[in-house]
Structure 1
Amino acid sequence: MTVGTTSAPSIDVTVALAQRLRSAADAAIAQPPARADEPAEDADACLAALVARLRDTRDPALAWLVLTSLAGAYPMAEDVRHILRRVDLEDTTDLTLHVLDRADTIASEHASVRRHAVVTTGVVVDVDMCARHPFHNGIQRTAREVVRAWSTEHDTVLTAWTSSAGILRTLTPDEQELAARWDDSLRDRPASETDPDDETDIVIPWGATLVLAEVPLADRCPRLAALAEMSGTRVVCIGYDAIPVISADLRPLGEPNGFASYLAVIKHAARVAGISASAAEEFAGFGAALSAQGLPGPVVSEVTLPATVPPAPEGWVRVPPARPLALAVGRLEPHKNHTALLHAAERLWQEGVEFDLRLVGGAGWDTTRVEAQLDRLKRAGAPVTWDRTLGDDELWSLLRTASFTVFISLHEGFGLPVAESLACGTPVLTTSYGSQAQIAAAGGCLTVDPRDDESVLAGLRAMVTDPDLRARLRDEAAHYPVRTWQDYAADLWTDLVEGGAP
């Protein structure tokens, strides 16, 4: 349920403050004060009732709520601790002054005192990146498919962050479409010329469940960590991977620090649903280490991502390419290991083995080495191409037509291109450990050690030169178990929101 209005933000500070405090009092106090006619009087009455209740209960969640409703932004953990210490030392008047002073400091940083609030005890879903940007890689695709399914089955509040990263807010209609009703036509949607902060309400979860459907940006994490620790709202997360810390050498400088901020949220989260057995193992390992801080850590489970693909067009018949076509789908980043693939391909071409190699994926954070390889191969006339972008229809057609796909990443949370290739009936050359090996166990794959150039070369040679091997793997891929996004979303809701095993 929600308490409060869903109107556009008021430009009157007193009216907005009264609305937020009234919403907080109605949510947190069994018998809130009678509503006063004047906004200032109603704000005073609600604040007095909330502070009196705080003195009686010494409840961290109530201190968090009072600060949030006054400031229009989430407090940090030290803000809440400061107020709780004042409860022990001061009378009601001095405590009220301290609450107002601390809230004013938070409000000054985030300029949010003119905002109306929605106080909700339901399920809030953070889809910040999905709502604000037409970026559609693995994490965004997962989050969008989940909220698309949930929106038809459950009552949820989809949210993004305010421009100052101070608090979650409701979505504009355009953002709602981008987050929950994605299709390929939205990739080129121009950025909105209006500030969404001017069109939306801030969201205060109270005894609610907050689902982190993405990995939040680092500047959001300290307030999220305080919310998870102190607000009384359950924070639950999809656990994608811990690559930035486990394979920090393969990621850009600074990313591990940002991920450490995210782990500060995870350590106070209630549940984490890993997208694969290996992802769950990574988060469970972190959770086990929290005993050193006297913390229980989150309950970690595995809710494996699905492999679902759109049906082939009516009447579609696979026409094998004239010579073997190896397809590699994924962003060009160091941990995706394209350099090893290109090295093996070059050695085979030098031996006179005939096949085509096609890379599909955008440029990642560092493509220096792989682009140098591609430039050299193209100058030598090697049959390799790189498509930075490709429409969904063309990509699915290519996945079905290719002789096989290659995905030999050094570290993955899941390996969606492997599962989707198999779901299209196309065999895969992939990694022999981690989540990729978990997918490969169902059949249709040849696995190699991606860190061993000779292993990669042997695997690529076998896939290119042995049509019987490809036929056997294609037959295995045809029996790959089907699991839909609706299945995944239902299991995820059971696990994260209802708190039970799917």
Structure 2
Amino acid sequence: AVAALLAQAVAHAGPGLTRAVDVVDRGVLVLSPAGLRDELSVLMAGVLPHWLREHAAAELDLSSDGEQLHARQRIVGSCDPALSSSVRSRHAAGVALDGALPLVVPWRSTLVCVGAGWSPAQSARLATLARLSGSRVVVAAPDALPIVAPQMVHPERSADLAHLLALVKHADTVIAFGGASARAYRGLACGLTAQGLPGPDVRELPVVGGPPIDVLTPAQPGRPRVTIVGADPRTRASVAEALLALRAQGRGCEVVTVDPGAVSSAFEQTTAANVTGVGPARQILVALDPGGTGLLLDAALRRGVPAVVCAVGVPGEVAANGGCVPVDPDDDAAVASAIAALLDDDVVHAAHAAEAAARPASTWRETADALWDAVTRTREVAL
């Protein structure tokens, strides 16, 4: 009844209201920062089709000034015809009434805010929604490395997470990927009680999920390839030092970087073994960034490609399922030794490749169901 009254009020708001308005009652609305292209964006791209087919969910955009929610121009949908049906019928192809996308008013709904990258204004507006709107705000959070070890990340990431924390402190729920990230956000939530805030309920999901993704391009037959997963300049420098040391010993190889910030929805074909009839080049991964969600690393490992990984953080958790050689990313000698072992030692490479290929499998549906449960589960209130 309240939703109907709210819809009637905005429908008769007078000449000042020039946009179509949709009141969404008890739906799940997904918001991502403009231009988000990281592992969380890959995860949501795999999950959202299942949500839109099976649940009362829709994907929205937040205006650049953080003051308006509106229907996403290209991806809007829900299995529930009662959820923003006018949005889906009028704007599924990005065609807007009077040239403008409709405003969306959430009522008793759940807003899922994905990742970092929100501007200060957007974070402040979303925090206000969390505090005053009557709708739940759930944050699908990036790794907490900028909180616990800011010296290990680019300053831009620390700034992005600082803006996100303005929202996290008022959110109902934070979904963290991996134990290390969950512990950091739980510590933050405990600290908020000193400010008189309840703090978010932190829910942990595994660092891996979804089916294997083709993140590896074909290598030249017979030529070793090292694929670096991650974008942090410090870890790339560590790998470069190790590869230079190997080159000085006459061990040359091809180097490719898979940057989570430039992931596309359609990856190229996988290893040369799957593409050509000739003997495949030996391939290994190097993942020394301690953050992320582990999605790309796990996806490549399940293609049977072993990896040298950071012994702590998300890669360390991914390594627990096999196929990895954990190292200290600041120990150039250890990094070089691990890379050399996987490139040169047939027994070592075969053993780790077999472990990698045997890692637990999952599907996007399983990942979507687990994430949906974490998003929609009612928070337990301590008595």
Alignment match, 1:360: 257
Kept in 1, the 8 Å contact 2:110–2:135? The answer is yes
SS in 1 for 2:270: helix
Query: Could you tell me which of 139, 150, 153 is aligned with 2:51?
Result: 150
Structure 1 position 24, deviation (Å) = 6.4
Structure 1 position 326, deviation (Å) = 2.0
Query: Could you tell me which of 240, 247, 252 is aligned with 1:349?
Result: 247
Query: Could you tell me which of 199, 203, 228 is aligned with 2:130?
Result: 228
Structure 1 position 176, deviation (Å) = 4.1
| Aligned-partner Cα distance in 1 for 2:108–2:95 | 32
Q: With structure 2 as the length reference, what TM-score do the two structures score?
A: 0.81
More relative contact order, 1 or 2 (CA 8 Å, 6+ apart): 2
- Code of the aligned partner of 2:27: V
Do the aligned partners of residues 442 and 402 (structure 1) sit closer, same or farther apart at CA in structure 2, a change above 3 Å counting? farther
Of structures 1 and 2, the larger Rg is shown by 1
Pair 1:241-2:111 in alignment: no
Deviations 1:423-464, CA, capped at 9 Å, x for gaps: 111111111112111111111111111111121122112112
| Aligned-partner Cα distance in 2 for 1:303–1:196 | 40
| Aligned-partner Cα distance in 1 for 2:268–2:102 | 40
Alignment match, 2:224: 324
Pair 1:334-2:196 in alignment: no
| Aligned-partner Cα distance in 2 for 1:290–1:399 | 52
Structure 1 position 225, deviation (Å) = 0.6
Alignment match, 1:279: 181
Structure 1 position 275, deviation (Å) = 1.6
Structure 1: gaps (5+ residues): 5-20, 27-38, 45-69, 71-111, 178-191, 313-317, 365-387
Deviations 1:446-498, CA, capped at 9 Å, x for gaps: 11111111211221121122110010111112210001221111011111112
Structure 1 position 334, deviation (Å) = 2.1
Taking the TM superposition and a 5 Å limit, the aligned residue runs for 1:23-102 are: 23=7, 43=13
Alignment match, 1:497: 376
SS in 2 for 1:443: coil
Kept in 2, the 8 Å contact 1:239–1:280? The answer is no
Structure 2: gaps (5+ residues): 78-92, 275-279
Alignment match, 2:277: none
SS in 1 for 2:342: helix
Deviations 1:14-63, CA, capped at 9 Å, x for gaps: xxxxxxx751659xxxxxxxxxxxx8xx659xxxxxxxxxxxxxxxxxxx
Kept in 2, the 8 Å contact 1:407–1:418? The answer is no
Structure 1 position 277, deviation (Å) = 1.5
SS in 1 for 2:104: strand
| Aligned-partner Cα distance in 2 for 1:127–1:204 | 13
Pair 1:406-2:285 in alignment: yes
Do the aligned partners of residues 306 and 199 (structure 1) sit closer, same or farther apart at CA in structure 2, a change above 3 Å counting? same
Do the aligned partners of residues 282 and 205 (structure 1) sit closer, same or farther apart at CA in structure 2, a change above 3 Å counting? same
Alignment match, 1:481: 360
Alignment match, 2:209: 306
Query: Could you tell me which of 281, 294, 303 is aligned with 2:196?
Result: 294
Do the aligned partners of residues 202 and 235 (structure 1) sit closer, same or farther apart at CA in structure 2, a change above 3 Å counting? same
Structure 1 position 252, deviation (Å) = 4.7
- Code of the aligned partner of 1:120: V
Pair 1:208-2:79 in alignment: no
Q: CA RMSD in A?
A: 3.5
Do the aligned partners of residues 491 and 257 (structure 1) sit closer, same or farther apart at CA in structure 2, a change above 3 Å counting? same
Pair 1:120-2:24 in alignment: yes
Kept in 2, the 8 Å contact 1:241–1:413? The answer is yes
Structure 1 position 299, deviation (Å) = 1.1
Kept in 2, the 8 Å contact 1:123–1:211? The answer is no
Size of the aligned set, in residue pairs, is 356
Alignment match, 1:8: none
- Code of the aligned partner of 1:203: V
Taking the TM superposition and a 5 Å limit, the aligned residue runs for 1:7-22 are: 22=6
| Aligned-partner Cα distance in 1 for 2:21–2:142 | 31
| Aligned-partner Cα distance in 2 for 1:260–1:200 | 30
Q: With structure 1 as the length reference, what TM-score do the two structures score?
A: 0.63
| Aligned-partner Cα distance in 1 for 2:98–2:374 | 32
| Aligned-partner Cα distance in 2 for 1:159–1:293 | 32
- Code of the aligned partner of 1:453: D
Structure 1 position 422, deviation (Å) = 1.6
Kept in 1, the 8 Å contact 2:225–2:253? The answer is yes
Query: Could you tell me which of 342, 346, 352 is aligned with 1:467?
Result: 346
Kept in 1, the 8 Å contact 2:210–2:367? The answer is no
| Aligned-partner Cα distance in 1 for 2:163–2:236 | 29
Kept in 2, the 8 Å contact 1:307–1:423? The answer is no
SS in 2 for 1:268: coil
Structure 1 position 322, deviation (Å) = 1.3
| Aligned-partner Cα distance in 2 for 1:467–1:476 | 14
Do the aligned partners of residues 248 and 24 (structure 1) sit closer, same or farther apart at CA in structure 2, a change above 3 Å counting? farther
Out of 458-467 and 319-328, give the one that drifted further.
319-328
SS in 1 for 2:191: helix
Do the aligned partners of residues 417 and 363 (structure 1) sit closer, same or farther apart at CA in structure 2, a change above 3 Å counting? closer
| Aligned-partner Cα distance in 1 for 2:289–2:337 | 17
| Aligned-partner Cα distance in 2 for 1:259–1:125 | 22
Kept in 2, the 8 Å contact 1:432–1:449? The answer is yes
Kept in 2, the 8 Å contact 1:427–1:444? The answer is yes
Pair 1:422-2:290 in alignment: no
